[in-house]
Amino acid sequence: MTRRCDRRCDACHGGSPSIDSTMPTVVDLLRNVPFLAGLDPRTLDLLASRCVPRAVGEGFTLFRAGDKCTGLYLVIEGKVRIYRTSTDGREQTLAVEGAGRPVAELPLVDGGSYPASASTLEPSRLAFLPRGDFEHAFRSDPDVATAVLTALGTRLRHFVQLVETLAFRDVAARLAMLLADYADRDGRPGDGVVRLELQRTQEELASEIGTARESVSRALKQLRVQGLVIDQEGAQLVLQPAARLRAWARGEG
């Protein structure tokens, strides 16, 4: 099934990397990518001139596990989910990358293929940097190299967390951890609690913590009984502070 660009998609039909001056330039976009922060302006310009901006809708698949790697994606806006699929169709998401984060930096440094699949959770704007251009920048500019290095580092730490969670915690605890993460990122704190508008279906939550939809439903009830989820009306959640959620998930509750 082919997805369409959503509105505001001028950029993705511009056949050349030339920039429409009424839009924010690609350089402007890259400037807001922490991954590249600290690069000197000239290299930034250079990179920007090589980047292909793309706007894609929700559910657009960037690549699949095993595909040969063609370049680096940077998330300008939106969310990209990175996941593995099992032979029987279940999915485990490995990471969700938001604005300013790189996707697929791993295969670029070791020359292998993509280790996982990636698709958008929301309509998103991305910058695509073809492999050759990336490698040139990577080799010639030590700042780019260290940027990649720290990106790999945080990814690795994230994975250690993920492994521990899958290995040790039950579904309810995993859900608590996940909600804590969301609360930190999207929640509005106030008065000893956090309000969070959850933009995920239970099906998606289930994939993120490696379980079934029904188990998420039951785990949510369990969290309500525990008082960790104070109130829930549809997607509107009132939560205990993230720290408390995490403490409970670690068994200190």
**Where on the chain is the footprint of DNA (CB under 7 A)?**
3-5, 88, 90, 170-172, 201-203, 210-215, 217-218, 220-221, 232, 235
Q: What angle do CA 189, 206, 246 make, to 5 degrees?
A: 40
Cα–Cα distances in angstroms (integers) from residue 146 to residues 25, 54, 129, 175, in the given order: 25, 26, 17, 33
Q: Within 166-205, which residues bind a copy of itself (CB under 8 A)?
A: 166-168
Among 88, 190, 191, 234, binds a copy of itself (CB under 8 A): 88
Pairwise CA distance, residues 211 & 33, whole Å:
33
**Per CB under 8 A, does 8 bind a copy of itself?**
no
How far from 161 is each of 52, 106, 154, 155, 178, CA to CA, in Å? 33, 18, 11, 10, 11
Please say which residue, 1 or 160, places its beta carbon nearer to DNA.
1
Residue 49 or residue 201: which is nearer to DNA going by CB?
201
Cβ nearer to DNA, comparing 142 with 234: 234
# of chain residues touching a copy of itself (CB under 8 A): 37
The tokens for 232 are 């829930």
Give which of DNA, a copy of itself, none residue 196 binds (C-beta under 5 to 8 Å, depending on kind).
Answer: none
Select the span of 30-38, 50-58, 163-171, 220-228 touching a copy of itself (CB under 8 A): 163-171
Partner in contact with 21, chosen from DNA, a copy of itself, none, beta carbon below 5 to 8 Å by kind: none
**Beta bridge partners of residue 221, listed in sequence order:** none
Regarding 159 and contact with a copy of itself (CB under 8 A), the answer is yes
Pull the structure tokens for residue 182: 């969301």
Nearest of 114, 94, 97 to residue 105 by alpha carbon: 114
